[in-house]
Amino acid sequence: MANKKVCDSWFATQQINEDLYLITEPHYYWYNRANLWLIKGRDQDLLFDTGLGVASLRQHVAGLIDKPLLAIASHIHFDHAGGIHEFEERAIHQAEAQALRDGDDHKALCSQPGWVDADHFECLPHSGFIAEEYSLVASEPTKILQEGDLLNLGDRTLEVLHLPGHSAGCIALYDHRSQLLFSGDVIYDGELLDELHHSNIPDYINTYERLQQLPIDIVYPGHYQTFGGNRFREILSDYLDRRRQPGCPQKKTDKGLK
Ligand SMILES: [Zn+2]
Ligand SMILES: [Zn+2]
């Protein structure tokens, strides 16, 4: 760590279309590197996920923001909620509001061995950065999100879907008109994590059964590449086939499960 240099630029930005930017942290370990989505509306902008919080995302996006901005954590994990404290308006689902308020490193995963490691940083986000001291910064949510909340950006509306399983407070944002889903860690095209200490497989199964009913054109996920409706349905059915094997939990009422 001592001989690593400070990165020239911690974030990378890609414009997807006139209303959407993807921001990533390319010098951070690919496995935990999140996709941060800046969604531009007529009257309001949204930032769906905020990265690790090891460099100023607020400064990085300042040039792209010309309206009130609401920063949202798709869930409490450090790679999504780490930077939310920097923003004046910040939102998270009710189930994880207290964890954000407390800066709960256990729920954020960053106190778990191996989740934030010096080797995961290709260069330093700022001079003096020490990975071992990484911690979720406690901050008070200014908005608590719940299932069915509508986020009106003026020219489009996104609905909050509460989709627990990966963690208790996971949300996705759904645009009914365009059939777009900003999915956080609920669904992405990579190894799905449903066995973390606070994951719940029966909830994950219920979430995926619910998503099977949702018309989808494009998914903008919390990790890895954007994908379309066919891949969306394939990931859902692969997961359900795997987790509904005999001996695996199928119902919320199964005993002995977290
Ligand atoms: Zn996560
Ligand atoms: Zn994640």
Contact 236, 214 (CB under 8 A): no
The per-residue pLDDT of the chain, averaged, comes to 94
Residue 33 C-alpha to ligand 2 middle, in angstroms? 7
Non-local (6+) Cβ contacts of 239 within 8 A are 192, 204, 208
Both tokens assigned to 130: 């020490």
pLDDT score of 60: 97
- Which residues make up the environment of ion ligand 1, defined by Cβ < 5 Å? 77, 185
Residue 40 C-alpha to ligand 2 middle, in angstroms? 22
pLDDT score of 257: 41
Q: Region 151-178: what's the mean pLDDT?
A: 98
Residue 80 C-alpha to ligand 2 middle, in angstroms? 6
CATH top-level class of 12-243: alpha beta
Residue 117 C-alpha to ligand 2 middle, in angstroms? 15
pLDDT score of 218: 98
Contact 51, 34 (CB under 8 A): yes
Domain ranges of the chain: 12-243
pLDDT in tens, 97-131: 999 999 999 999 999 888 999 999 999 999 999 99
Which of 257, 238, 237 lies closest to 247 in space, CA to CA? 257
